[in-house]
């Protein structure tokens, strides 16, 4: 089996309202890329000693008290419950994917840190799919999950952040600023089967003048001559221009470079990336 055959779409689910949408976008990506799906659920398990210390510190009890033993037992039972919930979630997600026509689906249950586990499993992933918010925060519309931000910053793979409801993407809105990350995203947009046949709108915000126009025109030439591409250049702030274009585009997927490496770029582009994910109602695919 060659290296390419080992690749898959990695979909991380939890008990949040985003799990169904994550499966939808993972299936969409798998069909377009002709790849299997690995469905991942992670339980963060504390070891008994750590759990005992945490409980003791929280309520000021000694480690030999009967109440402490009971709390530890309940904590361990809670872990077993989380494991069983994970198995049920994985079975439900696998069924959704198979009903969507994905025949090659594997499920994986892991204990450990969420970030570390996803980064470990992404080694052979072509794309990582996650929900915008995790369990317990899915209705907090004014922020994105901290896990998402940490995964995107650390991941070497494209990360597709699922919107709350799945809707098959029919149009790609590409936030372009001629940065190295944007150029990498442009290369994938022009050549990956993930986007084949989908019309593209390239949006350059906070831009004006001949230099920016030339950069935008050059980006358009990356596509085949018969690929439907339009370009938009606006001087307004990216945080307003890009969500506006996404909102006015039917069944859009927002593609953008994410989180630069230098401290200055992290400060500037990083905040814009977070704002885009937080603001738009569409799925967002981020490329490092």
In tens digits, what is the pLDDT along the chain, a chain of 288 residues? 344 458 999 999 998 889 999 999 999 999 999 999 999 999 876 555 555 555 555 545 455 566 667 666 666 677 778 888 889 999 999 999 999 999 999 999 998 888 899 999 999 999 999 998 776 665 555 555 677 878 888 888 999 999 999 999 999 999 999 988 899 999 999 999 999 999 999 999 988 899 999 999 999 999 998 999 999 999 998 888 999 999 999 999 999 987 554 444 444 445 677 777 888 999 999 987
Backbone angles phi, psi at 207, to 5 degrees: -135, 140
Rg (CA), the chain: 21
Handedness of CA 240, 245, 250, 253 (dihedral sign): negative
Listed in order, strand segments (DSSP E) in the chain are 8-12, 37-43, 105-111, 125-131, 159-162, 171-175, 200-204, 229-233, 252-257, 284-287
């Amino acid at each position: 089996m060659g290296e390419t055959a080992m690749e898959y779409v990695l979909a991380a689910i939890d008990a949040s309202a985003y799990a169904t949408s994550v499966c939808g976008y993972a299936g969409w990506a798998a069909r377009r890329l002709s790849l299997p799906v690995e469905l991942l659920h992670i339980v963060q398990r504390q070891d008994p000693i750590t759990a005992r210390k945490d409980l003791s510190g929280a309520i000021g009890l000694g480690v030999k008290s009967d109440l402490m033993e009971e709390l530890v037992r309940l904590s361990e039972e809670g872990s077993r419950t989380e494991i069983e919930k994970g198995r049920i979630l994985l079975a439900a997600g696998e069924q959704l994917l198979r009903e969507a026509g994905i025949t090659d689906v594997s499920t994986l249950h892991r204990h450990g840190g969420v970030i570390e586990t996803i980064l470990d499993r992404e080694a052979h992933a072509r794309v990582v799919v996650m929900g915008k918010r995790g369990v317990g925060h899915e209705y907090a519309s004014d922020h994105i999950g901290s896990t998402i931000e940490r995964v995107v910053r650390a991941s070497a793979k494209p990360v597709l952040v699922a919107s709350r409801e799945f809707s098959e993407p029919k149009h790609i809105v590409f936030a372009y600023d001629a940065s190295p990350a944007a150029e990498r995203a442009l290369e994938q947009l022009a050549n990956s089967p993930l986007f084949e046949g989908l019309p593209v709108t390239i949006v350059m915000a906070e831009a004006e003048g001949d230099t920016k126009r030339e950069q935008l025109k050059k980006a358009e030439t990356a596509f085949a001559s018969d690929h439907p591409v339009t370009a938009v250049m606006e001087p307004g702030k990216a945080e307003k221009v890009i969500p506006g274009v996404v909102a006015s585009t039917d069944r859009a997927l927002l593609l953008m470079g994410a989180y630069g490496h230098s401290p200055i770029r992290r400060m500037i582009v990083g905040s814009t990336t977070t704002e885009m994910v937080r603001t738009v109602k569409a799925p967002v695919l981020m490329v490092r």
